[in-house]
Amino acid sequence: MSKNPEPLRLDALQAACASCNLRELCLPMGLAPEAVERLDDLIGLRRRVRQGELLFDAGAPFEALFAIRSGFFKTTIGTEDGREQVTGFQMSGDLLGLDGIGPGRHDVRAVALEDSSVCVMPFASLERLAVDLPDLQRSLHRFMSREIVRDHGTILMLGTLRADQRLAAFLVGLLQRLSRRGYSSQALVLRMTRDEIGSYLGLKIETVSRMLGRLQDEAVIAVHQREVSVLQPERLRRLAEGAD
Amino acid sequence: MSKNPEPLRLDALQAACASCNLRELCLPMGLAPEAVERLDDLIGLRRRVRQGELLFDAGAPFEALFAIRSGFFKTTIGTEDGREQVTGFQMSGDLLGLDGIGPGRHDVRAVALEDSSVCVMPFASLERLAVDLPDLQRSLHRFMSREIVRDHGTILMLGTLRADQRLAAFLVGLLQRLSRRGYSSQALVLRMTRDEIGSYLGLKIETVSRMLGRLQDEAVIAVHQREVSVLQPERLRRLAEGAD
DNA sequence: CGTCTCCTTGAGGTTGGTCAAACCAGGTGG
DNA sequence: CCACCTGGTTTGACCAACCTCAAGGAGACG
């Protein structure tokens, strides 16, 4: 079933960015309408990725960047000896594949955590187009740079925070990004398992579970399976900032 | 003393990249000679940074990228509440400031760990030039992407390795980069303090000291103050890979 | 020779990991 | 409708790794 070729879909040929409500969050951010139109031409197709399927694997040749239209992904990095870690979670408007530009191969593996759809932007064309459109160039730079900044945040988290603080930082970060997309900033549904959260935070699943339990005991959050709601936003934020 | 303006130096006006022995490691990597020449024009000046001095501070407006000609830097990220962490160490041929492109302000603070000299590349000019020189564009992308990949490595290290393995990974990484620059791959002089190593690795100084001691006891390395030499490269490498 | 910074070493405590068992929600099939 | 299975999650007891606190050593510099 998972090997079935995706049947051609009507929307695969629709105009993209110009009518996309993620315009102001995604790569075309701040571009002039004509520029957006040319970017549209470049986006040959959309691709659907079902929950659990790979968008791309680590080591695969890098050919395109992917902009998430809808859905949710995780990226993981692995080593020969079997160590594996989640490096991030991506949602609508985020770009996937930036790490492949340098080496020409993907550095991470991208897996859909729910049924998703992405815009495929062949990188060679994108680079060519960017020569004509300095704004596009700048936007691309901004996205790469933002990825670096985000990674620095992750490094700081892993290097300096305790387990409960990491969890708080994780929740605060997710909520922030969700609220920018119009969702509540008080409640969310986790798209990933405890195990994946743990991998991202450098913790074991048992610790994740215990810390969620503790935060709940202290009435900072309420947890029901994958639904989390924040009861004391201020306290959660302070925890995430490293306050004792 | 540290506030003295640097006296004008002759070499501040010399042609740069074309005659630089870091050409094949640095931004001009793989560029055609004409392109290198135009890049040279752009590099208005060099800047010397003494040991302990800031190249730029976090939050400062981003105006230029810096290519390290000689010397050694650390970059640190900090938060209001005083947490601070080293995000990386940079040596000749490395680019500093990439994280500032997106937000328009530097995300990290760059401090020289020894007397250093950098090429200043005003970013606005660089971006303009890159429109004319697709190869330069590509090189810039490669560097940004490489930074992302490097950060992923750091994340993996912080998330999955034990203290001794982190230290091994740190040493292996440094040695690799040094050997690419013509230095020995068996021995090195640490440019940073134990404290800075610990900050980078997410460990306390005492743990760094103990782990260095342990690796020495097991005759994997020999340590004399800041000089480290590798006695069993293979074992060190395996440790760094996460082998038990 | 004193002082400063950086580093090492030891004793004891805390955090998070390991191992093992049980739980729970959602599906499947009788 | 219920028994059973499955994957994901929770919980407890125990332990190892790392941190904290405190003391002392070693080199550099005035």
**Nearest CA-CA partner of A1 in A37, A53, A44, A41:** A53
Phi/psi for B93 (5° steps) reads 90, -15
Give the integer Cα–Cα distance in Å for B226 and A34.
58
B223 touches strand C (CB under 7 A): yes
Where in chain A are all domains bearing CATH 2.60.120.10? 10-147
Query: Candidates 3.40.50.300, 2.60.120.10, 3.50.50.60, 3.40.50.920; correct CATH number of A10-147?
Result: 2.60.120.10
B146 touches strand C (CB under 7 A): no
Q: Grade residue A14 by pLDDT with cuts at 50, 70 and 90.
A: low
Where in chain A are all domains bearing CATH 1.10.10.10? 161-240
**Beta-carbon neighbour count of residue B29 at 10 Å?**
16
Give me the tens of pLDDT residue by residue for chain B, a chain 244 residues long: 343 444 444 444 555 788 888 989 999 999 999 999 999 999 878 899 999 999 999 999 999 999 999 999 999 999 988 889 999 999 999 999 999 999 999 999 999 999 999 999 999 999 999 999 999 999 999 999 999 999 999 999 999 999 999 999 999 999 999 999 999 999 999 999 999 999 999 999 999 999 999 999 999 999 999 999 999 999 999 999 998 8
| Inter-chain CB proximity B108 and A152 less than 8 Å | yes
Q: What is the pLDDT of residues B79-95, one digit of tens each?
A: 988 889 999 999 999 99
- Which residues on chain B are in Cβ contact (under 8 Å) with A155? 77, 85, 87, 151, 154-155, 158
| Inter-chain CB proximity A146 and B102 less than 8 Å | yes
Query: Candidates 1.20.1630.10, 1.10.10.10, 3.40.50.1220, 3.40.1280.10; correct CATH number of A161-240?
Result: 1.10.10.10
Res. A190: pLDDT tops 80 = yes
CATH homologous superfamily for the domain B10-135 = Jelly Rolls (2.60.120.10)
Where in chain B are all domains bearing CATH 2.60.120.10? 10-135
| Inter-chain CB proximity A242 and B83 less than 8 Å | yes
Global pTM reads: 0.93
Give the integer Cα–Cα distance in Å for A73 and A177.
14
